[in-house]
Homo-oligomer: A and B are copies of this chain.
Amino acid sequence: MLHCAAMGQTAGIVIIGDEILSGKFADENAVFLIKELRALGVALRRVAIIPDDIDDIAATVKSFSDRFDHVFTSGGVGPTHDDLTMEGVARGFGVKVVIHEQLAAGIRAFFGPELGEKNLRLAEVPEGAQLVGRDDELKWPVTKINNVYVLPGVPSLFRRKFAAIKSMFQDTPWATARVYCNGDEGSLAPHMNAVVAAHPTVNVGSYPRFDEQDYRVLITLESKDPAAVTAAREDLVARVGDLVVRVDEAS
């Protein structure tokens, strides 16, 4: 449902990693970030799970950057041969990978005499990248280039880093009503179509369920305008009549 009015800020998520596509690890970071963005009032418009491939990272990140207000990447930022995100993002924006001196100083301090040849790869960033957010515990912040936030794939680190930047993304929250119905979607569809037509600022979603005890279709009504949700909910309930099982409304 994309025919609603002002959506506010938009976002995309790029999950980078063969380990997710091959099922070695289940994605946790998109699952987490979907909920965070929703709570912030940011409209997530697309998630891509892609391989550890520089050209694919470059093309995907550039495309997302052009289309959405904010882009979050997950994974591929360690020191090994399969960590290609910084190279990919740099190629997407047509810049070089360079050593960021502030990161390099932090890494030297962290590893001390144990510093290995490859550890300084963690200081590599696309040229022009900024460091944003606060993460006193980790000692280094989040790499941002243009509207792209480069986050690590390890879920505990991903969550900690996102917590350090999430205050940058607050938007108006959504108001939502849920109308649980009996009947099948086909017979409910004309009523929903009427509500869609009469309430153009409200997103109407229809979700059949076959394993629930007391209802067969969940209809959701959403908008950033709570009064519009209330009006659409009242309209829908009046039209659907006896097939309504119950209604939840929350902002």
Contact = CB atoms under 8 A, between A and B. Distances in A.
Nearest to A218: B24
Contacts of A53: 2
Contacts of A156: 210-211
A48 B51 contact: no
Given A80-B192, A156-B211, A18 B203 contact: yes
Interface in A3-24: 18-24
Interface stretch (A89-97, A128-136, A180-188): A180-188
A2 to B, nearest CB: 5
Tell me the dominant secondary structure on chain A's binding face: mixed
B154 A118 contact: no
A82 B114 CA distance: 57
A189 B79 CA distance: 7
Interface of A: 1-2, 18-27, 30-31, 34-35, 37-38, 44-53, 78-83, 111, 114-119, 121-122, 154, 156-157, 174, 184-190, 192-193, 196, 203-211, 220, 222
